[in-house]
Amino acid sequence: MRRVLSVIVLNEHGVLSRIVGLFSGRGYNIDSLTVAPLSGGEFSRVNIVTSGNERVFEQIVKQLHKLIPTYKVIESEEFIEKEMALVKIPLSENLGGLDAVLKAYNGTIANSNENFLFLMVADDVNRIDNFLKTIKKYSPSDIVRSGSVLMEIK
């Protein structure tokens, strides 16, 4: 079962390693992890995407609440969740139809050089998955995903 957490923590040394330690110490995998400071700089938001059973997840949430630098743990389903992907495609490929694919997924050509096109797409996680399946016909030489970025709807 896929789970999404957003944890607001104090910006202090070692907080991220303590959070990751909670997961690894219980054999729980982190599928995606993004961290960025909030305005003001005193706090950061740690976005975690994971999967696993309910019992272990509840234990991790309880442990996160006990961490001293943790200000708030948000485990609501009420998030706007987006992800970004960058894709490098050789210019030697047949690029017919690429414009239509980019338009369908709100993608853009982020950069280019004499050998490659660099595509960028930012959207929901499922749409990024579908974009990456569709773009396979252009033989991408490299794909990089950002991980999920979350914001509460409330």
pLDDT digits (tens, 9 = 90+) for 47-60: 999 887 888 788 88
Percentage of the chain with pLDDT > 70?
A: 100
CATH number belonging to the domain at 2-75, selected among 3.40.50.720, 3.20.20.70, 3.30.70.260, 3.40.630.10: 3.30.70.260
- The Cα 56–Cα 53 span in angstroms is 6
Domain boundaries, the chain: 2-75, 80-152
Give residue-wise pLDDT tens across range 58-101.
Answer: 888 888 888 878 788 887 778 889 999 999 999 999 999 999 99
Give the residue from 50, 69, 45 showing the smallest Cα distance to 149: 45
- The Cα 92–Cα 11 span in angstroms is 46
User: 128, 87 in Cβ contact below 8 A?
Assistant: no
HSE-CB at 143 with a 13 A cutoff on CA atoms is: 16
Q: What is the pTM of this model?
A: 0.79
pLDDT of residue 41: 81
